A and B are shown apart, each in its own frame.
Chain A
């Protein structure tokens, strides 16, 4: 598939495919080197030492690595955003370690770096608080929000888990951030973001909240979150500042336009719904069965994986690791959104 994308007439798709080939080659070479010379592997990470966190304060600028304000083991201070970034990245580490025996993003104890109070330039040469959070390939960056529509992004454990899962994916499937592979990239970040929150709160699937980013939005009657995994398209409706949630919940409504990298945050509603349906149908803790199936799928998918590839793998893993009943639940959920395996 990557070979086909490299030949694409769309320059953006072609460039992304070429980058994927380069990254895959680099990762293969890095793996081979580490296997051959494990003692020589650079110790830029806190390898094999467990959890290691560093928090930077951008101090309302766009300089992400501005000032280090907290390191692993240091006491909490008075800055709520610093404490949230520290605590929630720690919760994310603990979740991956205890449920999947994964040692940080790279499974080798990579330091979790966060930058808080990130701002963006205004037109007067100053800065305004950023209404966003992102993963830049090395660290998580969190804005404080404008206080009108958005609160600070560190406030939500599932947002922090979402961003860190982008990091996990960069060391695993590394799904290309465009079209269906990109929507799966967003999907896995939502899945593990919400699972981390449910695990932390010990919420069972049937009674859990399936909304991403509730705390990030300033409350209003027209909004209850950024995405609703169980009911895509319903997180906000006719909101004067946000409009209406564009996420589809069925393949018939798949977005194919140019915006949002061909709909990576839009079409993730389809597999998100599948996961929420599977978890609620199976009952119990979503991270025990559904979470395990999706974690192994995330590790096995290739960078060009499409929805149908994800569907096939989840059905196959459900059957081989758990049994016919679980396989049927997963298969039926994909059928509900218009994908028959």
Chain B
């Protein structure tokens, strides 16, 4: 399975990204990701114009043998089911140029 996380915003405002194959990860990390993918309803989150300032935005992409899932969230719309996946991938984020 290929997984990608792009994180932008936050107080810092910089873009960070990681793209990984789950073969590269530890067993407990793979399990957390697989559970996230299975438990998530992959419909795009409704726009949520909140009063939050300096929160993060997340673009998530998962490719397995059968299909590809993509969705965009904010700190306030990120579903509980996806937090483990985001928690794993945040450890591997690297800076990415915006241009």
Which residue numbers of A lie inside 8 Å of B, CB to CB? 11-12, 14-16, 18-20, 120-124, 128, 131-138, 153, 159, 162-163, 166, 170, 177, 185-186, 189, 213, 216, 226-227, 239, 241-247, 255, 257, 259-261, 264-266
Contacts and interface: CB of A to CB of B under 8 A. Distances in A.
Given A122-B87, A123-B85, A265-B12, A170 B28 contact: no
B11 A132 contact: yes
A314 B55 CA distance: 29
Contacts of A261: 9, 57
Contacts of B54: 132-135, 163, 166, 265
A137 B13 contact: no
B14 A137 contact: no
Contact of A134 (B52, B97, B99): B52
Given A134-B54, A226-B12, A265-B12, A259 B98 contact: yes
Minimum-distance CB pairs A-B, first 8: A265-B13, A137-B51, A243-B95, A15-B47, A19-B49, A123-B87, A259-B8, A123-B32
B15 A259 contact: yes
Nearest to A265: B13
Nearest to A16: B49
A177 to B, nearest CB: 6
Nearest to A227: B13
B11 A134 contact: yes
B9 A246 contact: no
Nearest to B52: A136
Size category of the B interface is 35 or more
Interface string B35-55: 000000000001111111111
A131 B13 CA distance: 12
A52 B84 CA distance: 38
A302 B47 CA distance: 22
The majority secondary structure among interface residues of chain B is: loop
Nearest to B51: A137
Contacts of A159: 11
B62 interface: no
A266 B53 contact: no
A265 B47 contact: no
The residue among A128, A216, A244, A259 with the most chain B CB atoms within 10 A of its own CB is A259
Nearest to B95: A243
A120 B84 CA distance: 11
B2 interface: no
Contacts of B98: 246, 255, 257, 259, 266
B64 to A, nearest CB: 18
A173 to B, nearest CB: 13
A135 B50 CA distance: 11
A246 B13 contact: yes
Nearest to B36: A123
Nearest to B85: A123
Contacts of A260: 8-9, 13, 15, 57
A134 B52 CA distance: 7
A121 B49 contact: no
A290 B57 CA distance: 33
A265 B9 CA distance: 7
B84 to A, nearest CB: 4
A171 to B, nearest CB: 11
Contacts of A136: 50-52
A229 to B, nearest CB: 14
Nearest to A174: B51
B18 interface: no
Nearest to B80: A121
